[in-house]
Amino acid sequence: MKSVEQYRNQKVLVLGLAKSGMNAARLLHKLGAFVTVNDKKDFDNNPDAQELLSDGIKVITGGHPLSLLDEDFKVVVKNPGIPYTNPIVAGALKKHIPVITEVELASQILEGELIGVTGTNGKTTTTTLISLMLNHRTNAGKAYVAGNIGVPASAVAQKALPEDTMVTELSSFMLCGIQTLHPHIAVLTNIYSTHLDYHGSRANYVKAKMRITMNQTPDDYFVVNWDSEEWRELSKQSHAQVVPFSRQGNSEAGAYEKDGQLYYQDELIMAAKDIKIPGDHNVENALAAIAVAKLQQVPTAGIVQVLKTFSGVRHRTQYVETAEGRLFYNDSKATNIVATEMALKGFSQPVVLLAGGLDRGNTFEKLAPALKDHVKAMIVFGETAQKVADAGKLAGIEKIEFSENCETAVPVAWKLSAPGDVIMLSPACASWDQYPNFEIRGDRYIKAIEKVTGKAEEK
């Protein structure tokens, strides 16, 4: 990693733990900073805080005391999920103390190349596809995934060599806290409306996403979905070379689909139907990854091998198993309407849909057309159960059952299904009303499948 002296003998506050906070605190400690970690969880039930204290790092737990702002901190490194309305964050900014996220810290020490991926949907799949493709390069270093994909960027940046590449999934929350982060290739998969409770408006959300390209130069590349006029217009904000990708054939300057075939410029790559993971949205993800891979001189054979064999990221339209002719899919990461809509459109078979979760105040009428075209039955749960059911009724779905949660919904789905059907958890909602995160929701769904079918998850 790069030798960084800017934090040596400086007081730094790490606000919020979890993976990003733990790794940021350890890295700053290694860089010679005087680190204070503040986490709202009480100390006795906070093994992360206990571990950091044993490493000689100062920890303050059980809340966010405003008295912390009396300390002469040079910078605050905050957990991405902590909003800017948090009194400590707002107070730090008022005092002109920089507030960054862990990915900014990681970028400062990274010796290798940075590729950044953002967007509302498809970030994790695209990030994974890119890394797999880059590892088919000859005479090149290793490609690592990092960031919002669940791997702390600061941990990866410490081990990446100058010839390596860090392919980093960047959420809007993370991008709000960058200053100098500079991806050589930035990818925008799409932008829809979500996380408005955090950002306050769609305009702020879009502005956060576009921060991925704010430090790029004409020597860099901005890979953009060309299938929306809005996204094409947004690309004009970038100083980088714009490389489009289009499932609808709106441009042949980058990666695109035409007559069922995938191309990069004038080179035929493969047939779209040969991509292993289903759905038009995954064709878009594949095109984005193809564009990056070609910019990085990945052989076409390596690109094709990845797309023909990659079976999907866990919790993202993940194939689980087949039992008595029923195909089970885990799409727990579908935390908004568009994600569920895209997942449904990926199947020609009748779908028994499990949906519902955290109520953010929106309704689900926009999901009705996809429900009408693809869903034969629904099991709804969580805070939004009635709202999701209302969308199902609007779509003419006759079989709609209410259940306590996604686990209790599985045996109900089994009874409502028939051989040849797809049974899919695709909630269209966040998980926080009933589960700590979408991963735990998906894992418990898979356990419920195993209980009903008597079969273990296929891996």
Residues of the chain by 3-state class (helix, strand, coil), percent to 5: 40, 20, 40
The label of the residue with tokens 């009933």 reads 434
Which residues does the annotation place in the binding site for ATP?
119-125
CA gap 257, 264 in Å, rounded: 9
CA angle 76, 78, 80 (to 5 degrees): 150
Q: Which residues are annotated as a binding site?
A: 119-125
Distance of alpha carbon 107 from alpha carbon 122, whole angstroms: 23
In angstroms, rounded to a whole number, what is the distance separating the alpha carbons of residues 289 and 295?
Answer: 10
State which amino acid sits at residue 359: D
Backbone angles phi, psi at 178, to 5 degrees: -105, 155
- Burial class of 440 by CB neighbour count within 10 A (0 to 12, 13 to 18, 19+): middle
Cβ neighbours for 54, distance < 8 A, ≥ 6 positions apart:
none
Q: In what order do the strands lie in the sheet with 185-188?
A: 143-147, 165-169, 113-118, 185-188, 221-225, 241-246, 255-258, 261-264, 267-271
The upper half-sphere exposure of residue 86, i.e. CA atoms within 13 Å in the direction of its Cβ, equals 22
Q: Which two tokens stand for residue 194?
A: 């979500």
Angle between the 406-416 and 438-453 helix axes, to the nearest 10 degrees? 40
Q: In what order do the strands lie in the sheet with 11-15?
A: 58-61, 34-39, 11-15, 75-78, 99-100
Scan for tokens 């959300």, then name that residue. Answer: 205
Instruction: Measure the CA–CA gap between 115 and 292, rounded to whole angstroms.
Output: 9
**Measured between alpha carbons, how far is residue 37 from residues 65, 74, 256 in Å?**
12, 14, 47
